Amino acid sequence: MPFSDLKTEYGTPMVVASALYRGGIKQRDLPLDEASLDRLDAGDFVWIGLHEPSEEVLAHVQQRFGLHPLAVEDANRTHQRPKVDIYGDALFMVLRTAQIKDNAIVFGETHIFAGCGYVIAVRHGPSISYGEVRTRCERETQMFARGAGYVLYAVMDFVADNFFPVIDTIAEEVAEIESHVLAKTFTSDEVNRLYQLRRELLGFRRSVSPMLEVCARLERYSLPVIDAEMRPYYHDVYDHVLQVNESIDNLREALASAFDAAMMLSAASQNDVTKKLAGWAAILAVPTAIAGIYGMNFKNMPELETEYGYYAVLCVIVAVCGYLYYRFRKADWL
């Protein structure tokens, strides 16, 4: 079966795109069966995009482009930490992607093999297609002519830019949660959501923070396929990732503050309820105590024979209870 006909378990093609370029200009679509480093002429460049490829497809690519076995082994596994490894005159890079899906942050991975004359991008999980990146690169032929170094930058920049919609969505939700806290309409469901957001942001930070190391390494050190003129572009990606990382920290602090404020408001509300209950209990204790005294079955109780004793007791109860009510109201207990 041709590689172009292979499908993932979700029914999507394993080979998303494969094309041959020369001087930054697309020459033709290149079937994976024909792609090989040995068949490239001077100045040719191959860009292959794969989505959750099988071991058979990766083994074919490894054989045709001389990929390092350790890099291929990593590309076969997910849950990798963002990193950049050097194998001779080639690079292997791992990036983590993030997007909002079903009101939650979902993460994907992109593994990139880059060498002289080729870039092979392998996507795993729910990640956004790089078709937009390819279109932009094909439009900017002068920069695209630089080859793998520019493609790496374009992919990293695209990944970093797609972090911002995630940040904006969560920031809106955090602002809504904070407004509910201040309005004292914070519900138990929102407490659960707040805890979930903090966990998601922690996972988000674990995906973003290592990219700072990757960008710094690409910017500062002489690495294969990356010429010196491309280093400022990686610094630009570094700035974007740093901004996202700081935004994540700020959102986590805002959620922590919202949670603390909600707990303090809840404690204050409980304290108000406790004071009201204590005030009414003190008021009700007066008639209860007096009625309890005169409810005893003793014969020698002189007040029982008083003609206006009943009315006098009622007046005492009302007077004492009224005074207590006045004092509690003044103390803001009722």
Annotate 90-147 with DSSP letters as a single string.
EEEEEEEEEEEETTEEEEEEEEEEEETTEEEEEEESS---THHHHHHHHH-HHHHTTT
CA dihedral 273, 279, 284, 289 (to 10 degrees): 130
Output the pLDDT for position 121: 93
What is the Cα–Cα distance from 184 to 258, expressed in whole angstroms? 11
**Residue 211 — very low, low, confident or very high, per pLDDT cuts 50/70/90?**
very high
Q: What is the structure's pLDDT at 240? A: 93
Same domain, yes or no: 188 and 288: no
For 30, 77, 107, the CA distances from 66, given in Å and listed in that order, are 18, 19, 29
CATH number for 316: 1.20.58
Domain end residue (candidates: 224, 245, 265): 265
User: Do 172 and 215 have their domain in common?
Assistant: yes
Report the CATH number at residue 62. 3.30.460.20
Residue 183 has pLDDT above 80, yes or no: no
- The residue among 265, 293, 322 that closes a domain is 265
pTM of the model: 0.78
Same domain, 282 and 249: no
- Indicate the helix (H) or strand (E) that contains 15: strand 15-22
Q: Please indicate, yes or no, whether residues 222 and 307 belong to a single structural domain of this protein.
A: no
Per-state percent for the chain, helix, strand, coil, to nearest 5: 60, 20, 25
* pLDDT of residue 9 exceeding 70: no
Residue 50 in 3-state DSSP?
A: strand
Beta pairing, strands 118-124 & 15-22: unpaired
Q: Amino acid letter at 207?
A: S
Q: How many domains does the chain have?
A: 2
Same-domain pairing of 184 and 279: no
Spatial contact of 142 and 133, defined as CB atoms under 8 Å apart: no
Closest CA to 105 of 215, 205, 246: 205
14-45: b (≥16 Cβ within 10 Å) or e: bbbbbbbbeebebeeebebeebbeeebeeebb
Average pLDDT score over residue span 259-288: 78
Q: Tell whether 252 and 282 lie within a shared domain.
A: no
Q: Are 232 and 278 in a shared domain?
A: no
10 Å CB burial of residue 260 (0-12, 13-18, 19+) is exposed
Average pLDDT of span 135-142: 89
Residue 44 CA to residue 119 CA, distance in Å, equals: 12
Asked if 207 and 82 touch (Cβ cutoff 8 Å), the reply is yes
* Burial of 286 from C-beta contacts in 10 A (0-12 / 13-18 / 19+): middle
Say yes or no: 238 and 272 in one domain: no
Q: Lowest mean pLDDT: which of 95-104, 157-166, 214-223?
A: 214-223
Give the pLDDT of residue 169. Answer: 92
Q: What is the pLDDT of residue 160?
A: 93
d(CA 238, CA 221) in angstroms, rounded, equals 14
The token pair that represents 268 in the structure block: 């204050």
pLDDT tens sequence across 229-255: 888 889 999 999 999 999 999 998 888
Q: Which range marks the domain in which residue 319 is found?
A: 268-330
Same domain, 260 and 276: no
Over the chain, what is the mean pLDDT? 84
Neighbours of 123 (CB within 10 A): 22
Of 206, 8, 245, the closest CA to residue 107 belongs to 206
Q: Pairing between strand 83-87 and 104-115?
A: unpaired
At residue 119, the pLDDT reads 92
Statement to judge: residues 101 and 194 lie in one domain: yes
* Domain shared by 252 and 272, yes or no: no
> CA 169 to CA 167: how far, in whole Å?
6
pLDDT tier, 4 (very low <50, low <70, confident <90, very high otherwise): low
Same domain, 117 and 250: yes
Q: Of 265, 281, 313, which residue constitutes the final position of a domain? A: 265
Residue 321 is predicted with a pLDDT of 85
